[in-house]
Every structure is written in C-alpha cells, then in structure tokens.
C-alpha cells in the first residue's frame, strides 16, 4: 500500500511541473490557467489538468498538453479518459494509475494489452461496474490499497440488469464482478491477479464477487474481501484451473443470506489447487450452507476459519488435504458437521481445532464410510485419514483414545518393531467363499461353518486350523477317563467322548490314544465302537483286554479334524 501511495504522489508531483501550453516546458501555476478552469468539481469536464496535486476542470478545451512518463500511464480524463483506453495502450511493461471517477459500462479488458508484457494497475478509488469485469489477458495485476479500505469494485445499481442484462458474463458465468478466465470456453490465463481490495455485490441477487475459470500459473486473488453477496463468494471452476494463487481471503455473505458458500471449487482435477488462509463470517443475521465446498475436484486447504454455517468444509467426490481448521464464537451452535465427506472421496486432515462442543456437533461426518466423530470436549483432532468407501479410516483424537482405526483395511505388509495394541478384540466379518487371487492369499470367515478360511494363490479354500474348546473350531481335542474291561482276555468296553462343541456334521476324522499309563491289565484301543454310530457331537471309543486281567487306561485322548 505504501508503495502505491508514494508512486501516486510521485506521479502527481511530476505532472504538476510538466503541463505546459503548446511545446513549452515552462512551469505553470494554478493562477496562470485559463479563466474557465476551476479547482475541484463534481463532473468530468472536457479537459482535466492537475497542478501541484490539485485537480482543475476546464469546460473549454485548452492548449495545455498532457505530460507522459515512460511506461507510466494515468487515467486522466483527457489522453486516457477510461481504464479501458489506458490498458489497451500498453505495448510494453507498464504501470497504470486509475484515479479518475468512472462507472464501468463495458468490460475494460475486452482488448488485451500487448502479449508478452506485464501490466500493473493501481486503483485510487472504489469503482462501480454495471457489467462483469472479465480478464482473459495474462500478465495483469490489479491492486487496491488493502481489503480494509474502500478501493475495489462493486456492483452498480443496474448491475447485470436492464440495459446490461445481456452483457457478457451476465447470462452464463454467474454474474461475476471480476472473472479471470472465461467459461464455457476456458482460456488459459497466467500471472493475472487481483490483490488488496474489496469486491462488493451490494446484495444483488446472483452476483458472485470473484470467479476463476481459467486460473493457471500464479493467477488468482490475494488479500481480497468478498462481501454482501447471496450465493458464492469465490467460485473456482473448469479443469483449466490449477496451480493458482488464492490466499488471505475473507468472505462475508449478506445479512439476508441463508444458503451462501464462501469458496466453491468445482470440476478442478489438476494439482496445485491450494487455498491458504480463508475466513468465512456472514454479516450479522446471515447464514451459510458451507464455508468451503469441494465438488469433483482435488484441493489443498490450509488455515480455514469458519463461522455461522451448517457445514464447515464439504467434500464431495474429491481428493483433499486439509491442514488447520478452526471456528470462533460466531460458530456457536450453528455448525452441524465441521468436515462432511460424501461420495467417492479420500484424503487427510491435520490440526482440526474445533474443540468446543458448543461450536458444533460433529467433527467429521463421512457418509461414504459411515464414520461419525463427534466434537470432543477437550483437545483437538490431530489427524484423520480415510480412503474410499471400501477402505477404513484412522484418526488421532486425544481424549477419545488417541490413535484409532476402524473399517476394512488391506495391506501388503505390516512391520512391527516392538508391539502393537490392536484393542480389546478384533472382528472379522463373515462371508461366503469369495474366491482368491493369483499370487495372493486371501483370508476370510465362512458364514456357514463360521470357520476362518484361507485361499492361497486362488488354489481353493482351506480351513485355518484352530484347537481348543471354543465353538466352531475345525480341530477339536478331548480327554476322558478310560473304561475297565471284564477280567477275560479280549473282553471290551466303550468310552463316550463328547466334543467340546458339536461339529456341523459327521464329516470329521477322529484319532484316539491311551494316555497317562494304565489303571490295570494290558489295555489296547480298537477304535470306534461297533455298537454305535459316529455323531456330530460325540463318538464311542472301544478298549480291549489283551490278557485275562481287567484292562483300563488312565486317560483316553482324542483329536478330531473336520474335512
């Protein structure tokens, strides 16, 4: 701002000693001007002269010649009566000082300056416009004197209405005050920006303060305040938009707004789509649908401050990286979802500081995965990661258990240095045989047998062997006391062996042995009893005496495995 101020002062000082009649360079004072000239004045005369910083209007054209400085142009009302005429005259790198009151009625950038040169425009006033200002020229920088000042552009009384209803941009581009690029036929615009200014819609319906439909290579907006609008504050669209500059932005929708959006990013699939430091705070009484809305795009958002909105950041069918999101007291009780994720979206969040439950209900609402994380009473969300709808997610939220993961995960390898605490229990969703994949081993739980299964290299399903007394084990063991035969050689007795849990059927193989020595005689096991059938829940094992003494094993141990 200081640079612009001193440059303007220098220009005025130079001009004040450079105007002269005819070819003379004699310095003139205000008293030597024609009698028809008077200082100040509310209307633009046929000729305007500046002497020592004072603007003189002269109803009759005089013979004073306008001064020029190489590559520096002033919109003076004489040689360059409008911003459009000054801009079109730049055939090399130049600076334009726009100090002349003007209401824009035709796009001043419809004719581009010479290709390959850069033009910097300094605004010295707040400029009303009846039509969208559409910049399709690369290398154009327009600067005000700060977003807290009055310099910038605002919608005039008949903006995009009446005689101006059919102006370019009023019918197809969302009524932008300023648009860089041009839809629906996108133009590649590089190094064209607006900086340090206010864009004011003045409550005009459908007015959009800023539209970027072809921002490339450092084009965009910096330190810009979009105010008093009803729809979208900053709209970025078309696939020809990317690697832009959008930073230090503020949006204040109108007090009557109910469905406003701060920044909308729609249909941008290139990289480098960064929004840095954005604040959304509607006028008192106003409300927004979303502070930032990312639709079918990729976006990198940092330092986002959101108030008075139903949703903080909405992500739909997009890739995202969000670092630094916070709210203020103006968000009290209004935000339902700070981060809402819908459609096929995936990405990461870091440093989410919405840590007061009065400032919202849900920290994250991922409708695609069904994940819902409410706002904690203390601390902040350190990180969150989510893949697509078939993946799970992980988050680190102090006060809610630290690092947590949920949902299905697929990993080629997991390395453990010391130990990993997975939780009090883990669950595997049952499924029918899903088949396998060549070169991979698939693990699943069978929904019929309830057994864990594996399919290595798509070679067929195999049970994973488990032993013990738990239900649904394909491998079971049982120990029982042996029975005593009669005291006659080759006499027999049968011992009932009941499995810890019944098998689904009798398609299992059992093997039994005598153990822990004998109680008496010389016992041997003949196998299954011939007097009873094998049951899913039990078998009977026959002991035979090999001598004339009663025979008995101390223990009989049986192992069975289902086919």
Q: What is the pLDDT of residues 515-558, one digit of tens each?
A: 999 999 999 998 887 777 889 999 999 999 999 999 999 999 99
Instruction: Tell me 431's DSSP state.
Output: E
pLDDT in tens, 436-449: 777 777 777 777 77
Stretch among 38-42, 137-141, 331-335 having the lowest mean pLDDT: 38-42
Q: Would you state the pLDDT for residue 56? A: 60
Q: Report d(CA 555, CA 545) in Å as an integer.
A: 15
Q: Would you state the pLDDT for residue 282? A: 77
The closest of 338, 300, 298, 301 to 318, measured between CA atoms, is 298
pLDDT in tens, 362-396: 888 988 888 888 876 556 778 888 876 566 788 88
Q: Would you state the pLDDT for residue 34? A: 63
The answer on pLDDT for 21 being more than 60 is no
Higher pLDDT, 106 or 387: 106
- In this prediction, residues 470-491 reach a mean pLDDT of 87
Residue 12: strand, helix, or coil? helix
Q: Report d(CA 293, CA 270) in Å as an integer.
A: 17
Q: Would you state the pLDDT for residue 24? A: 29
Note whether 273 and 242 are within 8 A (CB).
yes
Q: Would you state the pLDDT for residue 427? A: 65
CB neighbour list of residue 225: distance below 8 Å, 6 or more residues apart = 147, 148, 152, 197, 198, 199, 249, 250, 252
Higher pLDDT, 157 or 376: 157
Beta carbons within 10 angstroms of residue 215's beta carbon: 29
- In this prediction, residues 96-102 reach a mean pLDDT of 88
Q: Would you state the pLDDT for residue 47? A: 47
Q: Would you state the pLDDT for residue 182? A: 72
Query: How is the beta sheet containing 475-481 ordered, strand by strand?
Result: 475-481, 552-562, 508-520
Q: Report d(CA 112, CA 268) in Å as an integer.
A: 26
Note whether 204 and 132 are within 8 A (CB).
no
Q: How confident is residue 321, by pLDDT bands cut at 50, 70 and 90?
A: very high
Q: Is the pTM of this model over 0.85?
A: no
Q: CATH for 475-562?
A: 2.60.40
Q: Report d(CA 195, CA 215) in Å as an integer.
A: 15
Q: Would you state the pLDDT for residue 50? A: 58
Q: Would you state the pLDDT for residue 415? A: 53
CA 21 to mean position of chain CA atoms? 62
Q: How confident is residue 12, by pLDDT bands cut at 50, 70 and 90?
A: very low
Note whether 519 and 545 are within 8 A (CB).
no
The closest of 340, 342, 341, 374 to 359, measured between CA atoms, is 374
The closest of 98, 76, 91 to 4, measured between CA atoms, is 98
The answer on pLDDT for 13 being more than 60 is no
Q: Report d(CA 482, CA 478) in Å as an integer.
A: 12
The answer on pLDDT for 66 being more than 90 is no
Q: Report d(CA 428, CA 430) in Å as an integer.
A: 6
Pairing verdict, β 492-498 and 193-200: unpaired
Q: Report d(CA 471, CA 501) in Å as an integer.
A: 6
**Averaged pLDDT of the chain:** 79
CA 270 to mean position of chain CA atoms? 14
Render 454-465 in DSSP notation, one character per residue: EEETTS--EEPP
Pairing verdict, β 260-266 and 288-295: parallel
Q: Would you state the pLDDT for residue 408? A: 61
Render 139-176 in DSSP notation, one character per residue: SEEEE-S-TTSS-EEEE-TTTTSGGGTTSTTSSSS--E
Higher pLDDT, 64 or 383: 383
pLDDT in tens, 234-274: 999 877 777 888 999 999 999 888 889 999 999 887 666 88
- In this prediction, residues 53-72 reach a mean pLDDT of 59
The answer on pLDDT for 2 being more than 70 is no
CB neighbour list of residue 413: distance below 8 Å, 6 or more residues apart = none
Stretch among 310-324, 356-370, 472-486 having the lowest mean pLDDT: 356-370
Render 337-380 in DSSP notation, one character per residue: EEEEEESS-EEEEEEE----GGG-SEEEEETTTTEEEEPPSSS-
Backbone angles phi, psi at 62, to 5 degrees: -110, 180
Residue 157: strand, helix, or coil? coil
Q: Would you state the pLDDT for residue 293? A: 96
Radius of gyration of the chain (CA): 41
The answer on pLDDT for 130 being more than 90 is yes
Higher pLDDT, 453 or 376: 453
Q: Would you state the pLDDT for residue 79? A: 81
Q: Would you state the pLDDT for residue 7? A: 42
The total number of residues shown for the chain amounts to: 563
pLDDT in tens, 166-198: 888 887 767 899 999 875 555 678 889 999 999
The closest of 130, 134, 79 to 111, measured between CA atoms, is 134
Domain ranges of the chain: 430-463, 475-562
Q: Report d(CA 199, CA 221) in Å as an integer.
A: 11
Q: Would you state the pLDDT for residue 292? A: 96
- In this prediction, residues 308-313 reach a mean pLDDT of 90
Instruction: Tell me 125's DSSP state.
Output: S
């Amino acid at each position: 701002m200081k640079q612009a101020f001193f440059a303007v002062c220098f220009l005025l000082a130079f001009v004040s000693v450079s105007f002269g009649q005819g070819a003379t360079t004699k310095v003139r004072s205000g008293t030597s001007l024609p009698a028809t000239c008077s200082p100040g004045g509310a209307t633009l005369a046929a000729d305007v002269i500046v002497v020592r910083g004072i603007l003189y209007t002269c109803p009759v054209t005089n013979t004073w010649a306008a001064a020029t400085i190489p590559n520096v142009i002033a919109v003076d009302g004489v040689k360059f009566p409008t911003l459009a005429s000054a801009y079109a005259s730049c055939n090399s790198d130049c600076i334009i000082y726009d100090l002349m009151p003007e209401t824009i009625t035709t796009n001043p950038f419809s004719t581009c300056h010479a290709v390959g040169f850069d033009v910097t425009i300094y605004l010295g006033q707040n400029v009303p416009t009846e039509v969208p200002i559409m910049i399709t020229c690369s290398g154009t920088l327009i600067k005000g004197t700060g977003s807290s000042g009055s310099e910038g552009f605002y919608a005039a009384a008949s903006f995009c209405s009446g005689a101006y209803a059919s102006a370019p941009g009023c019918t197809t581009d969302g009524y932008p005050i300023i648009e860089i690029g041009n839809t629906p036929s996108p133009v590649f615009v590089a190094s064209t920006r607006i900086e340090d200014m206010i864009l004011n819609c003045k409550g005009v319906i459908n007015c959009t303060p800023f539209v970027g439909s072809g921002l490339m290579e450092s084009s965009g907006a910096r330190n810009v305040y979009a105010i008093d609008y009803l729809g979208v504050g900053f709209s970025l669209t078309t696939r020809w938009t990317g690697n832009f500059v959008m930073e230090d932005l503020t949006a204040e929708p109108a007090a009557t707004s109910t469905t406003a959006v701060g920044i909308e990013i729609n249909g941008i699939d290139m990289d480098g789509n960064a929004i840095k430091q954005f604040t959304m705070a509607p006028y008192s009484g106003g409300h927004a649908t979303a502070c930032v809305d990312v639709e079918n795009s990729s976006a990198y958002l940092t330092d986002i401050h959101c108030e008075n909105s139903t949703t903080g950041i909405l992500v739909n069918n997009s890739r995202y990286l969000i670092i630094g999101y916070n709210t203020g007291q103006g968000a009290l009780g209004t935000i339902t979802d700070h981060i809402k994720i819908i459609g096929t979206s995936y990405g990461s969040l870091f440093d989410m500081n919405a840590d007061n439950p009065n400032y919202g209900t849900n920290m994250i609402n991922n409708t695609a995965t069904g994940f819902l994380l409410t706002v904690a009473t203390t601390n902040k969300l350190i990180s969150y990661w989510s893949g697509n709808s078939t993946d799970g997610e992980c988050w680190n939220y102090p006060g809610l258990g630290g690092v947590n993961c949920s949902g299905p995960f697929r990993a080629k390898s997991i390395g453990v240095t010391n130990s990993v605490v997975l939780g009090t229990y883990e669950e595997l969703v049952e499924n029918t045989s899903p088949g396998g994949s060549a070169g991979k081993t698939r693990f699943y739980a069978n929904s019929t047998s309830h057994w864990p299964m594996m399919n290595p290299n798509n070679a067929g399903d195999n049970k994973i062997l488990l032993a013990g007394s738990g239900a649904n084990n394909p491998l079971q063991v049982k120990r029982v006391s042996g029975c005593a035969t009669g005291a006659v050689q080759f006499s027999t007795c049968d011992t009932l062996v009941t499995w810890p849990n019944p098998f689904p059927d009798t398609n299992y193989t059992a093997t039994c042995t005598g153990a822990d020595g004998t109680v008496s005689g010389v016992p041997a096991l003949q196998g299954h009893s011939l007097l009873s059938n094998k049951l899913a829940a039990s078998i009977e094992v026959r002991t035979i005496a090999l001598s004339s003494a009663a025979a008995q094993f101390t223990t009989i141990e049986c192992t069975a495995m289902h086919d």
